[in-house]
Structure 1
């Protein structure tokens, strides 16, 4: 394969074995970054560049380089660059050292994640050009769910249509779900392989996962991040007939539907607020649209919790994580309200005290332990990168 501009024709040099990992999460108009010590778990540098200008990622990485040096580090002291990729398809089920062949395969997967994978690929190319002495490693949100049971991964559609197009349920937020399941077990002082867990990753994007003894049995997102829970700007589960109706009667085309489903649905579509802090303020001010949006959000969440209790045959732990899950006590209380008969009891005082965690918010007599555990996707990526490099 011919090298594309800025892409690594072959894996770069080793960097500093055991050194910190630069973790990049490139979006369409922003770049999040951290330099993480995988062993100690400490972020040495962190930042977020928004509104990328005319030079885009090149300017952003120049800022990253300056901040790395300001922290007393050098680029040569880093072990590698780890990149978050939302979608790895069926091929990429583990952290992967990036070369031209891998880049080509990632380009082929763009139709599975047309909004998320292209900026990540652009970030890889620019990073390889900016840091030619460092290995570039891709870590995939879908990898944790690669071995979902067939009954959970399969859509009941004509196989002649779905199989050539790799249509199945892949799941997303896997980096977070795996990390939080492990951290919940650590907090409880038990092996992750002993626990049946429900993990609720509630941020602007939101997903749930049923995890049996460390491995996923089901998850709410599917082929794309559109399925499942109500989110900031995505509506989650919807009758496919609604989309056909919008095409036939509403006159929408594919581009209109994509904009509606990704940007004008969920809490934003129902209330005009996608930030949960703004939604809470509107609810408290008596805004009826906001109140309905909040009720729909909690109803969908409660329904998935109930479903996953059934899938697991009961759970040992339910864990809330990510921005809303960690910081909004009313969501945690309302999402689990009415599940006492299923062994889920939240202690109101404990719940109201917690912002962030880790902490237990269930009552002492609850048969299901309810936790709040912070996620740290950057640390998880750094650790996965370090483990891959150690095995080379």
Structure 2
């Protein structure tokens, strides 16, 4: 069974092709700068290592982009036609209240995604381009939308509502939705399996840490709270996003700078976080600056750790019992110093990290806690694309 996973952006298409019997990706690639004169693509066969690449070719639209993927997969002997696929899974960032689980795509689903696009104006319209293009080029292949927000649809109302007028929720669906749900679900079920715990009895705090970061409290296998909110701006300190901030600060910024709300929104999303505090959104740069004694870098790092500690503590409180603390994402999987500094002062929460284990680079799942620790501290590589493929297969089998 072959399933293609597509993540369409406004000017790009990322993809992976999975052989589901082995749960392995057999090809991956990126088509970018769609709509520009100097488009580019790079497509790799993961078995042979062969790469097809062009860094300067006009790519008119997403339709051309998908044709390039199909042409090169055929050239590599991997797939003659998209119509040979057993399914196509699409990443969709925002599902809002309409979609609480992966969904087989039809015209009604497309209209639903269009309806909630104002909640994710940078993402959902781009995903729709990918969906509509794939439906035209592979009309007989079942396609499934997998929503980043779906895992968080189990949040209780007391956790997802904001303390503003209830009519704002009724009229405009203003509430917490959360993101990174596919990743949090994947690493949580992987952790439960690794520890031999039934997923429906598994309690964990999952930390997806990258340029965008979020925390998730998981109780009995379900998300009960998460740090991102209506948008991915809320919560942890990120590469370019500020995370939690007093909303009145926005009014004060506007008053002092004479900037409008669009400028402020861009500033908080793209010019804040580590970049705003220390000049770089890359934690590796921040750590180098710390070695040089840079005070702003030290402050940014300490603030990042402090915010992580706040969320771990508050989520531990609402969970009551904790089986595992999970680190994932580009930073969570690779920044051993951050993992150690996050956990070292949390021993009163029964989180005992082993400094030597944490410092070792190990492929796959890694236990970082001391041997006799009650709560496991795990590093688990996320695989959102595989999870999308797995959920796509499940939906297709249920509908057949």
Structure-1-length-normalised TM-score: 0.92
* Structure 2 match to 1:31: 13
Question: Per-residue CA shift, 1:291-344, capped at 9, x if unaligned?
Answer: 221111111111111111111113110010111100110110111121111100
Q: Which has the higher contact order (CA 8 A, sep 6+)?
A: 1
Indicate conservation of the 8 Å contact 1:231/1:267, yes or no.
yes
Question: Per-residue CA shift, 1:52-110, capped at 9, x if unaligned?
Answer: 34314233212321343214323233112111011001011111122222212211111
Indicate conservation of the 8 Å contact 1:326/1:357, yes or no.
no
Measure how far apart 1:264 and its partner are. Answer: 0.8
Measure how far apart 1:134 and its partner are. Answer: 2.0
Match of 1:198 among 202, 205, 217: 205
* Structure 2 match to 1:63: 68
Superposed, 1:214-293 pairs within 5 Å as: 214-293=221-300
* Structure 1 match to 2:103: 96
Match of 1:330 among 326, 329, 337: 337
The answer to whether residue 79 in structure 2 is matched with residue 73 in structure 1 is yes
Structure 2 CA distance for aligned equivalents of residues 156 and 22 of structure 1: 41
* Structure 1 match to 2:49: none
Match of 1:47 among 23, 29, 40: 29
Measure how far apart 1:150 and its partner are. Answer: 1.2
* Structure 2 match to 1:137: 144
* Structure 2 match to 1:15: none
Q: Which runs of 5+ in 1 are unaligned?
A: 1-18
Structure 2 CA distance for aligned equivalents of residues 48 and 282 of structure 1: 32
Measure how far apart 1:355 and its partner are. Answer: 5.0
SS in 2 for 1:164: helix
Indicate conservation of the 8 Å contact 1:356/1:372, yes or no.
no
SS in 1 for 2:249: helix
* Structure 2 match to 1:341: 348
Structure 1 residues 107 and 82: alpha-carbon distance in aligned structure 2, compared to 1, 3 A threshold: same
314-323 vs 61-70, which deviates more? 61-70
Structure 2 CA distance for aligned equivalents of residues 284 and 119 of structure 1: 41
* Structure 1 match to 2:311: 304
Structure-2-length-normalised TM-score: 0.90
91-100 vs 338-347, which deviates more? 91-100
Match of 1:379 among 371, 382, 386: 386
Indicate conservation of the 8 Å contact 1:34/1:378, yes or no.
yes
Superposed, 1:181-192 pairs within 5 Å as: 181-192=188-199
* Structure 2 match to 1:166: 173
Structure 2 CA distance for aligned equivalents of residues 274 and 62 of structure 1: 34
Structure 1 CA distance for aligned equivalents of residues 97 and 299 of structure 2: 38
SS in 2 for 1:132: coil
Question: Per-residue CA shift, 1:163-191, capped at 9, x if unaligned?
Answer: 21111111111101111100001111222
Structure 2 CA distance for aligned equivalents of residues 67 and 190 of structure 1: 43
Measure how far apart 1:239 and its partner are. Answer: 0.5
SS in 2 for 1:208: strand
205-214 vs 121-130, which deviates more? 121-130
The answer to whether residue 349 in structure 2 is matched with residue 367 in structure 1 is no
Structure 1 CA distance for aligned equivalents of residues 21 and 156 of structure 2: 33
Measure how far apart 1:276 and its partner are. Answer: 2.2
State the number of aligned residues: 374
* Structure 2 match to 1:4: none
* Structure 2 match to 1:8: none
SS in 2 for 1:391: helix
Question: Per-residue CA shift, 1:260-281, capped at 9, x if unaligned?
Answer: 1221111111112112222222
Indicate conservation of the 8 Å contact 1:327/1:356, yes or no.
no
